[in-house]
Amino acid sequence: MKKITGFIMLVLFFCMPIQIYADKLDSDDSQNENYNEYGIIKGTEVYGEDISELTQEELQYVPKGWRDGVVEGEHVQEKNNRLLMRAIYPSVNNYIENIVVPKVEYDYKDFFTKFNYRNGYGKVEGVVAHETANDNSTIESEISYMSKNHLNAFVHAFIDHNRIIEIHPLEYGAWGAGRYANQRFVHVELVRVNTFDQFARSINNYANYIANIQYKYNLGITDAESSGKGSLWSHKAVSVHLGGTTHVDPHGYFSRYGYNWSQFVSLVTEKHNKLITQKVANTSKLGHIKSTDVKIYNNPIDQQNYSKAGSKNTNEVFYIKSQARVKNANYYLLSREPSSKQGTIGWVEAKDISSHVHKGVDKDAKKMVINGNGNAYNKAWGGANNFVYDLSDFVGEEFRIHLTEKVGNNTWYRGILKGKTVWIHSSYVSKIVVNNTSKLGHIRNSDGVILNDIYNKSDSFKAGSININKVYYIKKQANIEGDLYYLISNEPSTLKGKVGWVKAKDLKVHEHNGIDKEKKTYTIQGKGKAYEKAWGGPKDLVYNLSDFSGETFNVHLTESVGSNVWYRGTLKEKTVWIHSSYLIDENNTSKLGHIINGNVNIYLNLYDNLNSFKAGKEYTNLVYYIKKQANVKGQMYYLISTQPRYGVVGWVKAEDLSTHKHVGADKNKKTFYIKGNGTAYSKAWGGSKDVLYGDLSPYINEKFNVNLTEKVGNNIWYRGIFKGKTIWLHSSYVTTKKESVTSKLGHIRNEKVKIYKELGEISTAIEASDKLTNTVYFIKKQAKLNGQIYYLISTRPSSNIGTIGWVKETDMSIHSHHGIDKTTKTFYFKGTGRAYSKAWGGAKELVYEDMSIYTHERFDVHLTEKIGNNIWYRGNFKGKTIWLHSSYLTKKVESSISRLGHIRNSEVKIYNTLGDNASNTAGKDHINKVYYIKKQATLGEHTFYLVSREPSITNGVLGWVNANDLLTHTHVGLDKKKKTFILKGIGSSYSKAWGGSKDEVFQDLEPYKGVKFNVHLTEKVGNNTWYRGELNGKRIWLHSSYLK
């Protein structure tokens, strides 16, 4: 288990230093520590307790700053207690008897951690008395230091001789004395002072503040010092009885001024008892004395002075504004007034009282209705002696409320009833919930009851015959204990034309909603009636509509009544309402339609269903224009026509037609191409009788110029001129020419290939013939038509200049064509292939048919392009611009070498410059000599050597010779060491190593046999060694075989 040593700099609530012993841990071990789910290292101890095993709820009472196992506080522990004899100082409790206590100041720190006590918010169980153990601090410095170190410790209040400052709400716990005390108690810190007078005053403030806390939370005063049980604790008592801390304050500091803990307990008790005597308010309850034998005390401290409750104090509710705990019992101060000072009758032990918490809710004005149950009292939760009325006499009467209070979980209302102020329980009144609504209604019969006032059911009358058979507006509804009432009115208002309140069950109602105020025009069918109001009854009748058949009805208001629609408009100078089923809703539309079969009826008008005829064969298989529709009693009719503006045939029921919306899209000119499928019609969405071209396959890919586009349902139709006729084609029968930019080169495959000057125009096609084949074409544009790709071929790299026409992709051999660069390059002819005037040229672009005669000649390139995967180079040669494939060219690759060589014969060609065919033959002058070779060049598969009379590539240069025309060996210098050899007398000497006959110095070395030869340079030629030295005054080269 991990243990960590830490020293407390004084935790405000500690007086002695705490030491937590720890084994020294290796740094390697610390890296392997395991953490629990709350971030605590397992095995971390605080005051001997493994806090890593605490629950989250328990852990909240341990300061966050301690959770690493290091316990830190605020102050250094006082090392030497300066004990002074009590006899030196007067009695503190006597000294302070008449000293006034300052008011409490509040300076809450919102950054302090907030947590509830173990029993919940505000559930204080006692107070712990601390002292700061710092002789050099002030109340301000203590609060400041704590604020900075609040994660290690904080308390509720600090007190000195002049001030009481509360810094944390008492309803929340604080980190004052270890987790066991933190979850139970309020923590109060006494700041050290420097004189007896200051000490006495601080103790006065200290005791007074603590006594008030004990009184406020009804804890009483019980000393926990010896038993570990009670409401008043020293820090020492916490250490001894609860643990979680080891401090023993405030005893040491008290003793400095001849004061002790017992005296302090007495002082707190005295101040607490004074609060009881003063009847300080600290609660709000209502209560009933349980029996006549209950004792009523003048003061619970003096339990010898009491009287019995008797009958005069029972069956009555009392206000309880003060409570006190004395000798482990709770007492309530009873009063007939809501005060702890006035109307009091004395103190009664809580067990002898039935009580509930008493709280004000609001002072809002409310209206309710008395339901006749229970009684009214002069106080909330009243007893028999508080009785005012039996509410059964007030059933249905209004109760106007001006105060609402809660007694326990019960709600009580105060208001005026028959001139008296009374309290009524919430269960004895009914809340009237009034809401706005919008309905129309008819009273079911003459026995229906109408209330003048919803709050007074006795004020009512029967509907009678005068109030039935007519429609009413309903703009308000009220709910009284589950009964729904409607306020009926002759006008759409809650104020004007009001008749009264009627039970919902006595009315037939429908929702009433405005739809719009748009102007509309309908035709009267000639059935039904017109009313003064929507959904009118017999008393609302204005006209019988049979007299107005076919007349126009101009509407200016539309409303819904339930699921029915009503229209308001003017008819014969009267404003009337007509149901939608009595009107023909005729309006414009735009559709196309087909009659579904020959048995369909076609009506000449909508007012006489008998005047009709069958469609038969004559009117089927045709498309019709529909520009008008009408709704008759929910039945939709369409007016069909052979033309969009004339040619009316008649009215047909919607279900007897197959229809689609018909919308003009645009009149933009467009160009399409016929796919070859489908049919052409004289009208959009035509029938078999509208066919113009039944088979479009002969016209595949022909151009179709559109002048009108329309939409039929979700389908697009195009109108245009084709072969001299105006036709309509569905969008699926045509396609577009999708042109795009490209870059290709191509050859026409054969002479029969067709070339179209204009795509889609068959008449513009020509055959390629011999004239247009065997040549390469530039392709800068392509078009996709009906799935077929066409290329626009041109003699120039342009889609505008030099164009020939459009050719099918399948009729051409093509490759992509891309420029690579315009970088100048130098190549040399291999002697293979041909040269053309264009890249990938045909026979008609041939410039040089046989390149073998130009083998190894230089070719200066100024443009490089890629054709498919092939590279082509353009350059100038012999005054002509030519293109060659990369495979016909090679590069000159030069490199440094060191060789010696002999020209094989006099016919060998020597070139001044590689790539230039101008050359000289070796002749007799250049053979039988050795030459230095310091550079070589490769042209394709051929190697050339630069031969020189001197070991240089600039001086003594003779020219370039094909390697096959030379006999050569590698030439390497070995060393420049001086050596001495003896001539054998054989062989010859030369002016150069491996010299020829023209390089001889001494042809015969026999005369020099046995002569010393001093060498100063050694070289290797091939596998032979040669030495250079002086002989007979001349510098010569000798082969190693001539020396010993």
Going through 830-965 in order, the beta strands assigned E by DSSP cover 835-836, 846-848, 858-867, 870-877, 880-885, 889-890, 892-903, 909-911, 919-921, 931-939, 942-948, 957-962
- Helices 261-277, 196-216: axis angle to 10 degrees equals 50
CB 221 within 8 A of CB 268: yes
- Separation between Cα atoms, residue 967 and residue 79, nearest integer Å: 111
Average pLDDT in the 325-342 region? 95
Condensed to tens digits (0 to 9), the pLDDT of residues 352-397 reads 999 999 999 999 999 898 988 999 999 999 999 999 999 999 988 8
780-792 average pLDDT score: 94
Q: Does residue 5 register a pLDDT over 60?
A: no
Rounded average pLDDT over 114-141: 97
Q: How many CA atoms lie within 13 A of 1033 on its CB side?
A: 0
Q: Are 1038 and 980 in contact (CB under 8 A)?
A: no
Please report which confidence band the pLDDT of residue 706 belongs to, taking 50, 70 and 90 as the band edges.
Answer: very high
Mean pLDDT within 102-106: 98
State the pLDDT confidence band at 29, using cuts at 50, 70 and 90: very low
pLDDT at res. 71: 65
Q: Where are the domains of the chain?
A: 59-67+71-273, 285-359, 514-584, 586-663, 667-735, 738-818, 822-890, 976-1044
For position 70, what pLDDT does the model report? 65
* 584 DSSP assignment: E
The stretch 572-598 carries a mean pLDDT of 93
Token pair, residue 655, equals 């279900």
Residue 272: predicted pLDDT: 97
In angstroms, rounded to a whole number, what is the distance separating the alpha carbons of residues 229 and 237?
10
Residue 14 predicted with pLDDT over 70: no
Tokens standing for 310? 């008797």
Note whether 728 and 718 are within 8 A (CB).
Answer: yes
If pLDDT is split at 50, 70 and 90, which confidence band does 785 have? very high
Mean pLDDT of 725-751: 95
Instruction: For domain 59-67+71-273, give its CATH number from 3.30.70.3170, 3.30.70.260, 3.40.80.10, 3.90.400.10.
Output: 3.40.80.10
- pLDDT of amino acid 33: 56
**Is the pLDDT assigned to residue 409 strictly greater than 60?**
yes
As a whole number of Å, the end-to-end CA separation of the chain is 94
Q: At the topology level of CATH, where does 976-1044 sit?
A: SH3 type barrels. (2.30.30)
Q: H-helix or E-strand containing 95? A: helix 92-95
- What percent of the chain has a predicted confidence (pLDDT) above 70? 95
Torsion of CA 40, 42, 43, 46, to 10 degrees: 10
Q: Would you state the torsion angle of the CA atoms of residues 201, 207, 208, 210, taken in this order, to the nearest 10 degrees? A: 140
| CATH class held by domain 586-663 | mainly beta
Its CATH class, for the domain covering 667-735, is mainly beta
Assigned token pair, 772? 């247009």
Supply the mean pLDDT for the chain: 92
Q: What is the pLDDT of residues 259-295, one digit of tens each?
A: 999 999 999 999 999 999 999 999 999 999 999 999 9
Distance (Å, whole) CA 845 – CA 775: 7
Q: How many CB atoms lie within 10 A of CB 591?
A: 21
The full DSSP string for 594-627 is EE--TT-EEES-SS-TTSEEE-TTTTSSS-EEEE
Distances, alpha carbon 425 to alpha carbons 38, 371, 407, 411, 430, in Å: 51, 11, 10, 6, 10
Of 689, 669, 624, nearest to 651 by C-alpha is 624
For 915-921, what is the mean pLDDT?
A: 86
> Is 60 exceeded by the pLDDT of residue 21?
no
- Residue 57 reports pLDDT greater than 90: no
C-alpha span between 413 and 423 (Å, rounded): 5
Tokens 């009107």 sit on residue = 583
Once rounded to an integer, what is the mean pLDDT over residues 172-188? 96
Max distance between CA atoms of the chain, in angstroms, equals 173
DSSP category for residue 1034:
E
Which residue did the predictor score with more confidence, 60 or 18? Answer: 60
In this structure, the dihedral spanned by the alpha carbons of residues 66, 67, 70 and 74, taken in order and rounded to 10 degrees, is -10
H or E element that contains 139 = helix 139-148
Token pair, residue 168, equals 């944390």
Range with the poorest average pLDDT among 607-621, 745-759, 869-883, 923-937:
607-621
Which of 61-70, 319-328, 419-428 shows the lowest mean pLDDT across its residues? Answer: 61-70
Task: Look up tokens 């100048």; give the residue.
Answer: 824
CB–CB of 133/191 below 8 Å?
no
Mean pLDDT of 124-134: 97
Band of pLDDT at residue 28, cut at 50, 70 and 90: very low
The answer to whether residue 184 scores a pLDDT higher than 60 is yes
Q: How many residues does the chain have?
A: 1044
Each residue of 1020-1036: pLDDT tens digit? 999 999 999 999 999 99
Identify the band that residue 526 occupies on the pLDDT scale cut at 50, 70 and 90.
confident
**pLDDT at residue number 742:** 96
H or E segment to which residue 476 belongs: strand 472-480
DSSP state of 1033: T
CATH 3.30.565.10 fits 738-818, yes or no: no
Does the structure show a pLDDT above 90 at 16? no
What predicted TM-score, i.e. pTM, was given to this entire model?
Answer: 0.50
How far apart CA 518 and CA 80 sit, in angstroms, is 98
- The whole-number pLDDT of residue 453 equals 85
Q: Which fold has domain 285-359?
A: SH3 type barrels. (2.30.30)
Instruction: Give me the pLDDT at residue 608, please.
Output: 66
Nearest to 849 by CA among 837, 835, 863, 867: 835
Q: In sequence order, what DSSP letters do the residues of 179-218 get, joined into one string?
A: HHHHTTEEEEEEPP-SSHHHHHHHHHHHHHHHHHHHHHTT
**Three state DSSP letters for 224-287:** CCCCCCCCEEEHHHHHHHHCCCCCCCCHHHHHHCCCCHHHHHHHHHHHHHHHHHCCCCCCCEEE
Confidence band of 236 (pLDDT split at 50, 70, 90): very high
Domain 822-890 class?
Answer: mainly beta
Please tell me the predicted confidence (pLDDT) of residue 32. Answer: 45
Q: What confidence tens digit (pLDDT) does each residue in 627-681 have?
A: 999 988 889 999 999 999 999 999 999 999 999 999 999 999 999 999 999 999 9
User: Could you give the CA distance from residue 584 to residue 525 in angstroms, rounded to a whole number?
Assistant: 6
Residues 121 and 183: their CA atoms lie apart, in Å, by 11
Q: What is the mean pLDDT of residues 787-801?
A: 95
- Structural domain 514-584, CATH architecture: Roll (2.30)
Same CATH fold assignment for domains 667-735 and 738-818: yes
